[in-house]
Amino acid sequence: MWVLLGLTLSVVTILGANYLEGGRFEALLNLPAALIVLGGTCGAALVQTPANLMMRTLQLLKLALRESQPRHSEGIAQLVQWCVTARRKGLLALEGELPKVEDPLIRNGLQLLADGKPVELIRATLEVELVAHEQRDYQAARVVESMGGYAPTLGIIGAVLGLIQVMVNLEDPGLLGSGIATAFVATIYGIGLANLLLLPLAAKMRQMIDSRSLYQEMMLEGLLFIAEGQGPKSVQLRLQGYLEQSNAKTSPA
């Protein structure tokens, strides 16, 4: 919602300013320029990015556009429920909760807890997974950020190609206008794509990764508290700091 609203506001502002300056909307529509910038940027990203990382990048982009963020309060409530189940029925009863858990890291931790593994083993295993997932997701965010660097450069390439067409067709004044239009519009497309979409999305992805990492860290600590035999109230109180930290990250400065 906010991504679409922000993008719409940016585009409408630019088009409105162009209109107030006497420009026409049709003058900003140029298919060759769009192909150069979009195709070139995507192609450059494919060259630098392994297939598995590109797939993860697309997954994170989808989550960023949907503004999917974990709710820490719901996570704490889930941990308290697991704690109650473990105290009443034993750790093995937690296996019945596994199909309900979507996050692979949390599901692995819950499986280790249900198997009765030592606290040290659970911590060591999940901390390695947490760091690995976080680093992989940051690499995915850097792919989008690098595309924000490629787009303006492809815009310049489009501008050069347009000027070449101008120089080749100097003897035909009828073709000069389209070449000059491609030159300038390609530059606008490249800079606009980078600064209105790609770079903001990369920043949003990093914020999302930070939030998800904090959530996973909180869930890891909660599972360890359960493994240590802490009571539901103790688990809830000891995790409140994560809830406050999450609220601080999402609150305006």
> Which of 139, 232, 248, 204 lies closest to 3, judged by CA?
204
From the list 110, 91, 42, 79, the residue with the least C-alpha distance to 222 is 79
Q: Confirm whether 154 is domain-assigned.
A: yes
Residue 155 CA to residue 150 CA, distance in Å, equals 9
Residue 220 CA to residue 110 CA, distance in Å, equals 9
Mean pLDDT of 105-125: 90
Give the pLDDT of residue 173. Answer: 67
Alpha carbon 178 to its chain centroid, in Å, reads 37
Domain presence at residue 3: no
d(CA 121, CA 101): 21
Residue 198 lies in a domain: yes
What is the reported pLDDT for 235? 87
Mean pLDDT of 39-61: 92
Q: Which range, of 4-8, 92-96, 157-161, 196-200, averages the lowest pLDDT?
A: 4-8
11 alpha carbon, distance to own chain's centre: 21
Mean pLDDT computed over 121-135: 91
Q: Would 4 be classed as within a structural domain?
A: no
Query: For the residues 35-46, what does the mean pLDDT come to?
Result: 93
**Residue 62: both structure tokens together:** 């989808």
Residue 250 has pLDDT above 60, yes or no: no
Buried b (16+ CB within 10 A) or exposed e, 119-128: beebbebbee
pLDDT tier at 252, thresholds 50, 70, 90: very low
In SS3 terms, 104-136 reads as HHHHHHHHHHHCCCCHHHHHHHHHHHHHHHHHH
* In-domain check, residue 16: no
Domain annotation covers residue 23: no
Q: In terms of residue numbers, what domain contains 92?
A: 32-250
Q: What percent of the chain has pLDDT over 90?
A: 36
**Can you tell me whether residue 238 is helix, strand or coil?**
helix
pLDDT of residue 253: 38
pLDDT surpasses 50 at 19: yes
The verdict on residue 24 lying in a domain is no
Whether residue 10 is contained in a domain is answered as no
pLDDT band at 45 (very low <50, low <70, confident <90, very high): very high
- The top-scoring range by mean pLDDT among 4-8, 9-13, 17-21, 41-45 is 41-45
pLDDT mean over 48-64: 91
Q: Read off the pLDDT of residues 152-185 as tens digits, 9 standing for 90 and up.
A: 999 999 888 878 877 777 776 666 666 676 678 8
pTM: 0.81
Share of the chain above pLDDT 70, in %: 90
The predicted structure's pLDDT at residue 139: 95
Q: Please provide the average confidence, as pLDDT, over all residues in the chain.
A: 85
- The number of distinct structural domains making up the chain is 1
Residue 229: pLDDT over 70: yes
> What does the alpha-carbon distance between residue 10 and residue 14 come to, in Å, rounded to a whole number?
6
Higher pLDDT, 99 or 251: 99
